[in-house]
Chain A
């Protein structure tokens, strides 16, 4: 309730939005794929900051972990399999795309004319079902983070579907690229990958424990347990603050990817065999769906957590949400690893033939 016509948050929003616009335009105009991947990371991070400013902390956290974090790593992995430069787009196609995007934008602008103003408490989105969630969550589910309550219980079935979407993406990568269940010889570790332009033949012959990486290895050994611990914190703190299975799964996977970047693919495969990852992708969905089957067996409807505890429905909700979040964690972490393994397996294949 300040007297100023524009408050500080609006200014911050405007600055972030204009930065998003600039990054977006740069993304479209660049042909260098490495720069594009990096700018995507920047874009996601900016978007995450903007979401924080809009008070959508859970969304911001997911955007930062998935969009800016692991996507960038996976995109870099994918980029290694292709060239660093994109072919320039033909002029005609460029203009057609521009026209389509402009028309879409115009339609959205047209819609804004009748939109309720931002943060309007009387708008339908803020006053109807959204408000009911706010009122009911404490008595029905008993946890302070309404986002988690909506995501895992009220609309838990949607989240089940989303978990299956993640699994399907992983299945796609495993089917099309394979994740090297058959195993094979040592894969190069990432620092060697970076130096591929220089002395490839020498790098492949040396062990990855070469003293060049000693600093990285020491620090990584210190960090990886902390990252795993943080993932578990995010997983189990989701009831109270931002967090949950999706973010935790991504963070857990990133710990393994860090390990693999520094200690090599071979070591990682020994620690977490591809078949294990493959089963993990399916297992998470089964844990989620299994919770639903248990509620059916106990006489409730699918995913009705109230029946999990006959005396205290709220406790039942807590249990149910915990189980399904574990399911999400297992599937998301496994799928991220499966995608990473898919690219890494591919890279070795290429190396044998062409590099």
Chain B
């Protein structure tokens, strides 16, 4: 913190602080093209790390301001709200922005040794440029207070994501098909979303989210608004990988470059989930009968199905990264379940789980990427003996896995605990049952990995031990930062919990239905 105050004491930077909300997006957005022009891989990487660090610093500044009880509004082009586009930061998206920029920084640190091996040297500079644009897109979606601007930045982040996923083709040509599937479904999602926004504009005549919300409160719940609601939920549902719309996700995560797998698993669906919450609660009015019906009879059953069906699918996946990807869909079910309760406790638990899940999945994908690098691991069975051959990676993977199961002493326990409490409060005993079943399944599929790593002998060629590529220190450090975070947030979840609580209270206006 003293470093932070030292930086901000430089007067030139202090002048920029009122613009922090804009700069946190604009800096990576402009740094991306500069990385493309730089054309030297190592230089582009250093530049990207610098930029991600700046974005993280700025998002911490925003987070600090929000924790101080303020909300930040920034008018782009100095045009007032309904005429121009505004950026709006409150406790809900300050958390998301910090998460995204922090994960980007860690993924970049972790990524250099990976990218060096996985991507053609000629393409690395452009790869980092695209990554920065993706980062800017994700932060842009989270920070904006304008419904159409969400669409624009959703496109920025999605298109760059398709490209980044396709870059896995150097390792496995299937990355191209995975990316293409993602592109088609993602584009359909974006189209649905923009149809919904168009219908909202038709009904209200404005694109500013707060303004739409104000105008919807006046009017009766007419058919245009209902159609808009459905289109937006389906469109964002596709981006969030909500249960029956998740088919793009497993392959996209499994075949992307390791660094991108880490970044996407911990941020992309989280940002989409945030946007869903933003629209459901602060644009539409969650208490309206039509919406309550959607929550109880569509979202909640889908969430439960995802939690169980995708956990079962994860249990039977031989491919490690696909296993983790299916588990991600199941975990998204937990978050959606929290959301669909429509109560402050539920929403807060869903948000907390979103934060924790980013920490654990980030760590898991990092560890698996290292295992692939060290031993060429692709399948769970190939992980045997990793406890001996790659002890550090195996330990990190196990701790993050325990967090995914929801074992006490890890962050995963905290959010599941709050989720169960919220479900009981709402009287949804069947939801509690589903959480328990899904957790048992998680024990099973994570257990498969732990069993292979510690209880089986390492593979060997005759008497010679298997050759292991040493894990680079640069990649181990971010992994352990995330592992430490997984433990830290068990003992002190006050910051994310506090933010989630205040966000949930804010969104539901205090009075839960």
Residues of A within 8 A of B (CB): 104, 107-108, 110-111, 113-116, 123-130, 132-133, 136, 153-158, 160-162, 164-165, 167-169, 171-172, 174-176, 178, 181, 278-279, 281-283, 285-286, 289-290, 292-293, 296, 300-306
Once the chains are docked, how many angstroms separate the CA of A350 from the CA of B137? Answer: 35
Decide if B481 is an interface residue (CB 8 Å cutoff). no
Given contacts A158-B148, A285-B33, contact A168 B76 (CB under 8 A): no
A154 touches B79 (CB 8 A): yes
Q: Other than A286-B33, A289-B30, A306-B78, give 5 A-B pairs with Cβ distance below 8 A.
A: A128-B82, A162-B152, A176-B166, A283-B33, A302-B76
Write 30 A-B pairs (CB below 8 A) sorted by A numbering: A104-B192, A110-B227, A111-B227, A114-B223, A114-B224, A115-B202, A124-B206, A153-B79, A154-B77, A156-B77, A158-B152, A160-B29, A164-B133, A164-B136, A165-B152, A167-B33, A168-B160, A172-B159, A172-B160, A172-B162, A175-B126, A175-B166, A281-B36, A282-B33, A283-B37, A285-B29, A293-B26, A300-B78, A301-B74, A306-B78
**CB-CB contacts of B78-97 with A at 8 A, as 1s and 0s?**
11001111000000000000
A304 to B137, CA, bound (A): 21
Contact of B202 among A116, A127, A281 (CB under 8 A): A116
With A174-B126, A176-B169, A301-B74 known to touch, is A289 a contact of B162 (CB < 8 Å)?
Answer: no
Kindly provide the distance from the CB of B470 to the nearest chain A CB, expressed in whole angstroms.
Answer: 29
- Are A128's CB and B133's CB within 8 A? no
Whether B76 pairs with A111 at a CB distance below 8 angstroms is: no
Given contacts A161-B156, A175-B123, contact A279 B37 (CB under 8 A): yes
Cα-based distance from A172 to B84 in the complex (angstroms): 30
Alpha-carbon gap, A154 to B33, bound state (A) = 24
7 smallest beta-carbon distances between A and B, as pairs: A124-B205, A128-B205, A282-B33, A111-B227, A161-B152, A172-B163, A304-B78
Q: How far apart are the CA atoms of A104 and B188 in the complex, in Å?
A: 12
Contacts of A165 in B (CB 8 A): 152, 155-156, 159
Instruction: For residue B53, give the distance in angstroms from its CB to the closest CB of chain A.
Output: 19
Assess whether A278 is in contact with B36, with CB atoms less than 8 Å apart.
yes
The distance in angstroms between the C-alpha atoms of A154 and B228, with both chains bound, is 25
Contact B149 A157 (CB under 8 A): yes
Tell me which residues across on chain B come within 8 A of A301, comparing CB atoms: 19, 22, 74-78
Q: Indicate if B167 sits at the interface (CB-CB under 8 A).
A: yes
- B36 and A296 contact, CB distance less than 8 A: no
Q: Which residue of B lies closest to A307 (CB)?
A: B78
Assembly CA distance A114 to B203 (angstroms): 9
B contacts with A: majority SS: helix
Cα(A123)–Cα(B37), bound, Å: 48
Bound CA–CA A127/B82 (angstroms): 13
Q: What per-residue 1/0 map shows which CB atoms of B133-168 lie under 8 Å from chain A?
A: 100110010000000110011011001101100110
Tell me how far the C-beta of A310 lies from the nearest C-beta in chain B, rounded to whole angstroms.
Answer: 15
Report B-chain residues with C-beta under 8 Å of the C-beta of A181: 122
Could you say which residues of chain A place their CB within 8 Å of the CB of B160?
A: 168, 171-172
Tell which of B26, B32, B169, B224 touches A115, judged by Cβ atoms closer than 8 Å. B224
Residues of A within 8 A of B122 (CB): 178, 181
Query: Are A127 and B205 touching (Cβ within 8 A)?
Result: yes
Whether B149 pairs with A161 at a CB distance below 8 angstroms is: yes
Residues of chain B within 8 A (CB-CB) of A175 are 123, 126-127, 130, 163, 166-167
Q: Among B26, B36, B136, B226, point to the contact of A292 (Cβ < 8 A).
A: B26
Given contacts A115-B224, A154-B77, contact A136 B83 (CB under 8 A): yes
B355 proximity list for chain A (CB < 8 A): none
Within 8 A of A (CB), among B383-403: none
CB proximity of B255 to chain A, nearest CB, Å:
14
State the CA gap A264–B76 with chains docked (Å).
Answer: 45
Nearest CB in chain B: distance from A130 CB, A: 7
CB-defined interface of B227-264 with A at 8 Å, one 1/0 digit per residue?
A: 11011000000000000000000000000000000000
Interface membership of chain B positions 17-29, coded 1 if the CB is closer than 8 angstroms to chain A and 0 otherwise: 0010010001001
Confirm or deny: B199 has a beta carbon within 8 angstroms of a beta carbon on chain A: yes
* B residues in contact with A124, CB < 8 Å: 202-206, 215
The answer to whether B84 touches A155 (Cβ under 8 A) is yes
Contact residues in B for A162 (Cβ distance below 8 Å)? 152, 155
If A108-B227, A168-B130 touch, whether A130 touches B205 (CB-CB below 8 Å) is: yes
A89 and B163 CA atoms in complex are apart in Å by 27
Q: Which residues of A contact B140 (CB under 8 A)?
A: 161
Bound: A281/B36 CA distance, A: 9
Q: Beta-carbon contacts of B26-58 to A below 8 Å, as 1s and 0s?
A: 100110111011000000000000000000000
Measured between alpha carbons, how far is A103 from B48 in the docked complex, in Å?
44
B222 interfacial contact with A, CB 8 Å: yes
A136 to B206, CA, bound (A): 16
User: Are A168 and B163 closer than 8 Å at their CB atoms?
Assistant: yes
Q: Is residue B129 within 8 Å, beta carbon to beta carbon, of the partner chain?
A: yes
Q: What CA separation (Å) do A124 and B219 show in the bound complex?
A: 11
A302 and B205 contacting across the interface, CB-CB below 8 Å: no
Complex-state Cα separation, A317 to B329, whole angstroms: 47
Is B204 a contact partner of A303 (Cβ separation < 8 A)? no
Of A115, A123, A129, the most chain B CB neighbours within 10 A belong to A129
Interface centre among B79, B195, B231 (most CB of A within 10 A): B79
Which chain B positions have C-beta within 8 A of A123? 202, 205
Q: Is residue B444 within 8 Å, beta carbon to beta carbon, of the partner chain?
A: no
B503 at the A interface (CB under 8 A): no
Contact B85 A155 (CB under 8 A): yes
Given the complex, which residues of A lie within 8 Å of B75, measured CB to CB?
Answer: 301
| Residue B201 at the chain A interface, CB threshold 8 Å | yes
Q: Is the CB of A158 within 8 A of B130?
A: no
Distance between B441 CB and nearest chain A CB, rounded to angstroms: 29
A130 to B136, CA, bound (A): 29
CB distance from A283 to the nearest CB of B (A): 7
Is B207 close to A, CB under 8 A? yes
Q: Knowing A114-B223, A161-B153, A168-B156 touch, does A129 contact B127 (C-beta < 8 A)? A: no
B349 to chain A, nearest CB (A): 32
Q: In the docked arrangement, what's the CA distance between A168 and B137, Å? A: 11
Return chain A residues, CB-CB under 8 Å to B126: 171, 174-175
Given contact pairs A115-B202, A155-B84, A282 touches B34 in the complex (Cβ within 8 A): yes
List, in ascending order, chain B residues with CB within 8 A of A132's CB: 82-83
From known contacts A124-B205, A157-B149, A168-B163, infer whether A302 and B83 are also in contact, taking CB-CB under 8 Å.
no
CB distance from B272 to the nearest CB of A (A): 17
In the complex the two chains form, is B222's CB within 8 Å of A114's CB?
yes
Known: A114-B223, A172-B163. A125 touches B202 (CB 8 A): yes
In the assembled complex, the Cα of A160 lies from the Cα of B32 at a distance in Å of 14
Q: How far is the CA of A104 from the CA of B195 in the complex (A)?
A: 11
With contact pairs A158-B85, A175-B166, A289-B26 given, residues A169 and B78 touching in the complex (Cβ less than 8 Å): no
Per-residue CB contact flags for chain B residues 487-504 toward chain A (1 = under 8 Å, else 0) read 000000000000000000
In the assembled complex, which residues on chain B have CB atoms less than 8 Å from the CB atom of A154? Answer: 77, 79, 83-84
Which A residues are CB-close (under 8 A) to B36? 171, 278-279, 281-282
For A172, give its contact among B137, B166, B222, B227 (CB under 8 Å).
B166
Choose among B76, B155, B192 the residue that contacts A156 (Cβ–Cβ < 8 A).
Answer: B76
**A286 contacts B34, CB within 8 Å?**
yes
